[in-house]
Amino acid sequence: MQNSDFRMVGIISTLMLILTGSVHPSYCQDLPVIPFNDAWKQKIHGLAPEKTDFPASEKKRILVFSLHTGFEHWVIPHTSEMIRIISEKSGAFEVMDSKDIRMFESENLKKFSAVVLNNTCSKPKHRNLFWDKLRAESDTDSLILMQKALELENNLLAYVQNGGGLMVVHGGITTQNKSRAFSRLVGASFDYHPPQQPIQVRLVDPEHPLIKVFPKEGFNHIDEPYFYSNAYEDIDFRPLLYFNNEEIRGQRQPAKTGKTFLAWIRSEGKGKVMYCSPSHNAQSFENPDLLRFFLNGLQYVVGDVDCDDRPLGSS
């Protein structure tokens, strides 16, 4: 056996101990980076659903936007490819990838039925992805650049209001993290996350059509447990998945109790929005239930799914 084989056995053994509770979650290290190669793509293709759970009237175009100016999640290319695989294998969607902020000009957004923000993390100072990119490309007066950044953000808001779909994946929630309007659109702003650890993901309503794919007891995976602020306090969305705060190690003090939601949906005007925190790691996409959940979510944001998306308190 080669040294690399021994290392892999050690990683697998450690993960099994963590997941079975034999090792405290605080000992959990970041999962190893999985090479983005043909072997991985073929593996995900084999796990992806053959067809959609809900009727699709026509093949719709989806923009997967993967620009980051702040923290770079190594899972970005894996997430983009995962969305392409589930879209093409099911025959439901045509996918275009881009990192060009000009895609948020109104005439370009109109070409798509939905936009996916794939870990589009912005820099901490302004927490404004559009500003970050415009400033990096130009020495124009700051006021002019900020006005343009606001225009692009407003284009996205109007796009959803007028019937466009929006899916926000993991770190994509920080795209415009200091914007109250964006926070309200998505349902929350990012606050912080403790270190990666095993998370028992639970179902808010096991009978909800978007999450019936999961076992009723939920599922376990290793991830960053996100906590939220701003619009999150209003819970102006239909929550789908959650974790129990008492089970999360490494919280800021005082530690939170109760539940934190990590996936939800909401209507905005004529459009639909979904936020999904999983996942920081490509290993999570090896769960076929999660792949189908993403496919269901894409169908929801393009309007193929008629389901309860009323805010929790209005039911």
Same structural domain for residues 15 and 153?
A: no
Which residue shows structure tokens 């006005």?
Answer: 147
Classify strands 238-244 and 197-203 as parallel, antiparallel or unpaired.
antiparallel
3-class DSSP state of 98: strand
Same structural domain for residues 146 and 20?
A: no
Same structural domain for residues 10 and 91?
A: no
What residues contact 57, with CB distance under 8 A and at least 6 apart? 304
Domain range for residue 2?
Answer: 1-30
What residues contact 185, with CB distance under 8 A and at least 6 apart? 156, 157, 160, 166, 268, 273
Closest CA to 278 of 269, 268, 291, 265: 291
Same structural domain for residues 157 and 54?
A: yes
Write the CATH number for 298.
Answer: 3.40.50.880
Give me the phi and psi of 250, to 5 degrees please.
85, 20
| Ordered per-residue pLDDT tens for the chain, 315 residues | 333 332 343 344 334 434 433 334 443 568 899 999 999 999 999 999 999 999 987 899 999 999 999 999 999 999 999 999 999 999 999 999 999 999 999 999 999 999 999 999 999 999 999 999 999 999 999 999 999 999 999 999 999 999 999 999 999 999 999 999 999 999 999 999 999 999 999 999 999 999 999 999 999 999 999 999 999 999 999 999 999 999 999 999 999 999 999 999 999 999 999 999 999 999 999 999 999 999 999 999 999 999 999 998 775
Same structural domain for residues 16 and 90?
A: no
Cα–Cα distance, 125 to 284 (Å, whole number): 30
Domain count, the chain: 2
Q: What is the pLDDT of residue 258?
A: 96
Q: What is the pLDDT of residue 23?
A: 35
Same structural domain for residues 19 and 146?
A: no
Same structural domain for residues 16 and 99?
A: no
Q: What is the pLDDT of residue 52?
A: 96
Q: What is the pLDDT of residue 315?
A: 59
Q: What is the pLDDT of residue 64?
A: 98
Same structural domain for residues 6 and 95?
A: no
Same structural domain for residues 48 and 127?
A: yes
Cα–Cα distance, 14 to 93 (Å, whole number): 39
For residue 232, the 8-state DSSP code is G
Q: What is the pLDDT of residue 61?
A: 98
Report the predicted TM-score, pTM, of the whole model to 2 decimal places. Answer: 0.90
For residue 208, the 8-state DSSP code is S
